[in-house]
Chains A and B, each alone.
Chain A
Amino acid sequence: DIQMTQSPSSLSASVGDRVTITCRASQSISRYLNWYQQQPGKAPKLLIYAASSLQSGVPSRFSGSGSGTDFTLTISSLQPEDFATYYCQQTYSTPWTFGQGTKVEIK
């Protein structure tokens, strides 16, 4: 299985901050990397697919980059509704696997 490792596991930030979350794959996954946001008690929501494609309806402050083994999710200006847990996921090779999550908390 391809292991996905996110860093940091948690972070504290303020409204308006620029936030970057990193995801590293245990082997090259080309650009088959997706990012999800999960609010407490809710299902995950797709933000970014194929490393950098913004899902329809997702605010443009979210962006993704990377290829191969290293990927980043950036929130350009953190908003109150962005405090949540973020997961990366690879679909390069079955079984699909997720990172352990990064919790973004209010500073």
Chain B
Amino acid sequence: QVQLQESGPGLVKPSQTLSLTCTVSGGSISSGNYYWSWIRQHPGKGLEWIGYIYYSGTTYYNPSLKSRVTISVDTSKNQFSLKLSSVTAADTAVYYCARELPCGGDCRPFDYWGQGTLVTVSS
């Protein structure tokens, strides 16, 4: 059973960089054709996809956040990470990591999710 777990600071100061790590267990991050994503949810709001990474390092970022986002992977630790720079209060959200299931063509649902971690941006 694949499990994902987010970790990182729950409080970040404005203008600083938010850094989170997702540790994958129950399967290798570099096996299969999976893409690994970050998604966030502002308090009481809907879901916003941030971007994905493939184990080879190929990334795609949501254009709305592209200038501030970096997603990286460490296959030796079975982890992938998110960095979001120059944060403001608008970046306060629950951040989820998730696995994309390749099911043919553009079929790429998120089949496994981490439990989510709340990151608050405040001085």
Among residues of B, the one whose C-beta sits closest to the C-beta of A85 is: B46
Secondary structure of the A contact surface, majority rule: loop
Is A7 on the interface with B (CB-CB < 8 A)?
A: no
Is B113 on the interface with A (CB-CB < 8 A)?
A: yes
A87 x B46 contact (CB < 8 A): yes
How many interface residues does A have (CB within 8 Å)? 27
CB within 8 Å: A-B pair count = 68
B109 x A34 contact (CB < 8 A): yes
CA of A87 to CA of B46 in the docked complex: distance in angstroms?
8
Closest chain-A Cβ to B97's Cβ sits at a distance in Å of 10
Q: B42-57 CB contact bits vs A (8 Å, 1 = yes)?
A: 0000111100000000
B64 x A46 contact (CB < 8 A): no
Measuring CB to CB, which residues of chain B are less than 8 angstroms from any residue of chain A? 37, 46-49, 60, 62-64, 96, 98, 100-101, 103-111, 113-116
Measuring CB to CB, which residues of chain A are less than 8 angstroms from any residue of chain B? 1, 30, 32, 34, 36, 42-46, 49-50, 53, 55, 87, 89, 91-101
